[in-house]
Structure 1
């Protein structure tokens, strides 16, 4: 995975490394290629009977031949036929190993192993791409904990009563414990 001027793409920095395929979701996990099969083959995903099926449940080896065990809920038309041919050619290159467990692979390190120190170095030296696609440039004049606090406040991720209530935490009241008149929100706290 490349790190460019826009930042680090954390959402796709972990991929499944196939062993026996028992713990890898065929459709939801990124295990072959750059995208999940659910996103790459949307029409087939709509026709899939078991959307939470594992790789091992869909790919079987019998007499040294790869057999695909599909389960569709409806007939194929148009683009679905093309998608089936494409997905079959992509998945046919995958080798399952019954003696090896599935594991996560971290693509930002050359050896595939996640290390907190390496990630911290990337964060401190790069622009961070957030989940909202807005970038935040690291301001090295501020302490890191201040920057994190400001980022959390902007993302409404501070543990104020209104945000805790939205997340289903049972509170006796969402009113500010100091003034007891207004709802305790990020804005009110400041």
Structure 2
């Protein structure tokens, strides 16, 4: 993720106008909203020297940008894209530099906000001497893992105590992926194809033509599926 800073835009990890892998990542972020997950908000800046973290526009103090926490101050700030290092310096003590404003005197409300802002910055724990980086809020370690993201997605749908499916290492990856898609109803059965705008003459099962070709019908209720399950039960001596 070391190239991510050049792609930032208003706290976003990537701009969809940027071509290449990050464009696809930006688009994927929208799909996480189906699980109630705002992907961009799960990553926050871990500030060290402040050389690559934007003061107002990046999430580094709490869960929101300072632009959103102090909108009145951001409105009158002259340098809206300044970096943390431009306003904070380290020495024997942390020094919060003067911010350049677009007007000579701040209002009482703005002055109060400025005092609150200074308190927040002063109390923040900087990783002095280290480069800025990213921290994922989905795990206490701060490191992103696919396994943990899958768990969060499963919890958002079924609750904390239900697991969508186990990711078995002895099963081929394509089988694991297929089962995952199956349980998410993401396989190309006719209702899903029609929902995507694909013109079809009928939504019935293309094998038995007796019922709508739902995911459940294809794998459990279709006459052909039942015959396959029956053979499997005889092979493995399982009672259906």
Q: TM-score, normalised by structure 2?
A: 0.50
The alpha-carbon distance between structure 1 residues 95 and 10, as it changes in their structure 2 partners (threshold 3 A), is same
Higher CA-based Rg: 2
Indicate whether 1:106 and 2:136 are aligned.
Answer: yes
1:5-51 alpha-carbon deviations (Å, 9 max, x no partner): x8444342111111111111100111012221000100100111111
Contact 2:181/2:187 (CA < 8 Å) preserved in 1?
Answer: no
Q: 2:101 aligned to 61, 64, 72, which one?
A: 72
The alpha-carbon distance between structure 1 residues 120 and 43, as it changes in their structure 2 partners (threshold 3 A), is same
Q: CA RMSD in A?
A: 3.1
- 1:1-190 alignment to 2 at 5 Å? 7-74=36-103, 75-127=105-157, 141-145=183-187, 187=197, 189-190=198-199
1:68-120 alpha-carbon deviations (Å, 9 max, x no partner): 23111113113211111110111111344452011111111110100122212
What are the ranges of 5 or more consecutive residues in structure 1 without an aligned counterpart?
1-5, 129-137, 155-185
Structure 1: distance between partners of 2:108 and 2:187: 54
Structure 2: distance between partners of 1:105 and 1:68: 26
SS at match of 1:89: helix
Greater RCO structure (CA 8 Å; 6+ sep): 1
Structure 2: distance between partners of 1:114 and 1:123: 14
The alpha-carbon distance between structure 1 residues 34 and 125, as it changes in their structure 2 partners (threshold 3 A), is closer
| Structure with the higher strand share, 1 or 2 | 1
Structure 2: distance between partners of 1:116 and 1:105: 15
1:116-141 alpha-carbon deviations (Å, 9 max, x no partner): 2221232234239xxxxxxxxx9975
The alpha-carbon distance between structure 1 residues 25 and 143, as it changes in their structure 2 partners (threshold 3 A), is same
SS at match of 1:30: coil
Question: In the comparison of the two structures, how many residue pairs are matched?
Answer: 141
Structure 2: distance between partners of 1:15 and 1:141: 31
What are the ranges of 5 or more consecutive residues in structure 2 without an aligned counterpart?
1-34, 159-179, 200-240
What's the counterpart of residue 211 of structure 2? none
Query: In the TM superposition, what is the alpha-carbon distance from 1:60 to its structure 2 partner?
Result: 1.5
| Structure with the higher helix share, 1 or 2 | 2
The alpha-carbon distance between structure 1 residues 41 and 139, as it changes in their structure 2 partners (threshold 3 A), is same
